[in-house]
Amino acid sequence: MSRLDALRGPTPPLDHNARSIAALAANPACDRRAVLDAVGVDKNLMAVHLGYSAQFGQSPFAVVRTRQFEEIVRAGGGAGLLPLLREALGLSIDTARWESADESADEGGGESAEEGAGEAHAVRHTRTEALVARAAGDPGTAVVLDRLLLRLDVAGHEVHLEPGVLVFQAGERFHVVTIKPFAVVDGQAETGRVSAAAREAAVYVHAMRALLVRMGLAPDRVSHDVVLVCPENFSNVPTASLLDVRRELSVLAWQLARLTRIDRILDGLPSGLSLDLRIEAGVPTRPAADLDEAVSGIAARYAPECLSACEMAYFCRAEARSGGALDALGRAVRDDLGGVETVGAAIGLATGTRTATAGEQGVAERLRHIRKIYQETVAQETVA
């Protein structure tokens, strides 16, 4: 993995989180994202330095609200959480032990990036394994596991996952419990946010199952039903509902399997390539044009969905647009014009200025027909 270190330079790497893995899995053909994530570059800083202020910030109000709600749910060692879990899962337990895999950071935050991240990770991961093993060996006792550190193999590269979730075991089943600040009003929540939560939770379920397999336990002890804890209606009172993430899990597993192995991508990159921002006192000092050239050397697969999932999206969009790539117009457009790569080619086929290759015959014929009836119709209406 020294190649990754060489690409990154002296800056410490950023960890993956469920959101970044879900985003990567949503676009498995994007080498650029795969490399940047594997290297552990601060993509936000990179995008800003390249002149694309990613619209990724979170409002301070939302941050406060999220923290407040987490605190309410976790208050009293989970005293309020237990009845919710009991009801959502139909259990009849009275108590549950609360255990944390990160004893050093019980007070909020828990960012261990500063001091010897690698070492802290190892400690936490060992403790995670011990806690899970103990819980699995004692299925009669209900237990809530907090601040676990999970490991996942992504594109042949081991990543650490710092879950913002809890894991609950009762009976023989582990359930991932995810706390989200969006409201469930009369049993309904915003579809987009629920599916994002499901995709993220699926990453944790996947990683938990991988952990059980490594420990020689049956992976299906981790349930595909995730407990989603959200504020109810317009209050701060938490309510729990079950979210079946089987679909997200199978998509994730399939996409992770499809990811090109990172070393194979790295082999294709020019030697001497560097993604180092040359950060001095927190400020990138590398000339932007130079960095632009380096990043452009790694192939991207832009789709408009990236705009809400990747810090680099605006950079990649500009690149796609300047080349007139149909990707910039959306996946549906690309699919409709199957085989045609650029706007220029599509217009050329429609006007007949471009000769259709064997594979483009069908599309070309349809495009010419569309152009003809569109022009006829518009012309008629203008006359009328």
Residue with smaller CB distance to other proteins, 150 or 310: 310
Residue with smaller CB distance to other proteins, 152 or 350: 350
Does 380 contact other proteins by CB under 8 A?
A: yes
Residue with smaller CB distance to other proteins, 39 or 329: 329
Using CB under 8 A, pick the residue from 94, 114, 115, 381 that binds other proteins.
381
Does 304 contact other proteins by CB under 8 A?
A: yes
Of residues 192-251, those binding other proteins (CB under 8 A) = 231, 233-237
- Can you tell me the distance from the alpha carbon of 248 to that of 228, in angstroms, rounded to the nearest whole number? 15
- Smallest gap from residue 176 Cβ to other proteins (A): 23
What contacts 210, CB < 8 A, 6 or more positions away? 150, 151, 152, 153, 219
Site string (172-191) toward other proteins, x via CB under 8 A: ---------xxx-xxx--x-
Of residues 40-59, those binding other proteins (CB under 8 A) = 55, 57-59
The region of 41-49, 116-124, 290-298, 299-307 touching other proteins under the rule CB under 8 A is 299-307
Residue with smaller CB distance to other proteins, 184 or 298: 184
Residue with smaller CB distance to other proteins, 71 or 172: 71
- Smallest gap from residue 318 Cβ to other proteins (A): 9
Does 343 contact other proteins by CB under 8 A?
A: yes
Contacts with other proteins, residue ranges (CB under 8 A): 55, 57-66, 181-183, 185-187, 190, 231, 233-237, 304-305, 307-308, 321, 324, 326, 328-330, 332-333, 336-337, 343-344, 346-347, 350, 366-367, 369-374, 377-378, 380-381
